[in-house]
Amino acid sequence: MAFLSHLFKRRTDDRTPFRPLWHRTVELARDPRWFAGPDRDGGGIADTVAGRFDAITLVLCAVLLRMEREPALVTPSVRVTELFVDDMDGQLRESGVGDLVVGKHIGRLMSVLGGRLGALREALADAESDALEQAIARNVTLGEAGDPGRVAAMLRGFVATLDATGADDLLAARIALP
């Protein structure tokens, strides 16, 4: 009987405290400025499924890169990444991807996220070159009027805002685009 009670007992989700940060990350990634053309002071990311995924990973990478610099935020960054995986899993299933291949798609999405984290980490460390613009041109789906330089400027501004944000404010999702 103990086995059954252990199997069916209600468990708490240790990611719950980090859901507001994940939701705020998605909210910031959906900001129209990312998608508006340069003529409207935007970056011109394509307003497509691929472009929206790119915007989410761009903002998420900035948040995760900020979190990795503080040892106390390492575990929360893992939980936020798990929330990303859960959300993408749900999105894939809603779009018709079957149970048998959803894991393969999630693996690819995690590979993309990891690659972008590495590319942005390196590019943001080199403030003097156009490395960030090049990374964005390679990794972000831009619309016809898309401008990697403008997206890079927006991202640098967001990263500067995150750098000035304390750990408590970050975990409480008190972050904004400049």
- pLDDT tens digits, residue range 12-60? 667 788 999 999 999 999 999 999 988 788 899 999 989 999 999 999 9
> Looking at the domain assignment, is residue 133 inside a domain?
yes
Given pLDDT bands bounded at 50, 70 and 90, which one contains residue 171?
very high
- Neighbouring residues of 164: CB distance < 8 A, sequence distance ≥ 6: none
pLDDT value, residue 41: 80
Q: Which two tokens stand for residue 140?
A: 């972000």
On whether residue 10 sits in a domain, the answer given is: no
As given in the structure block, the two tokens for residue 142 are 């831009």
Provide the percentage of residues in the chain whose pLDDT is more than 90.
Answer: 65
**Percent of the chain topping pLDDT 70:** 87
Q: Residue 5: count other Cβ atoms within 10 Å of its Cβ.
A: 8
Structural domain boundaries enclosing 64: 15-171
- Per the domain annotation, does 84 fall within a domain? yes
Q: What total of structural domains would you count in the chain? A: 1
Let me know: does 159 contact 124? Beta carbons within 8 Å: yes
> Any alpha helices (H) in the chain, and if so which ranges?
2-8, 19-29, 32-35, 49-68, 74-94, 99-125, 131-139, 148-163, 167-171
Confidence band, pLDDT 50/70/90 cuts, at residue 1: low
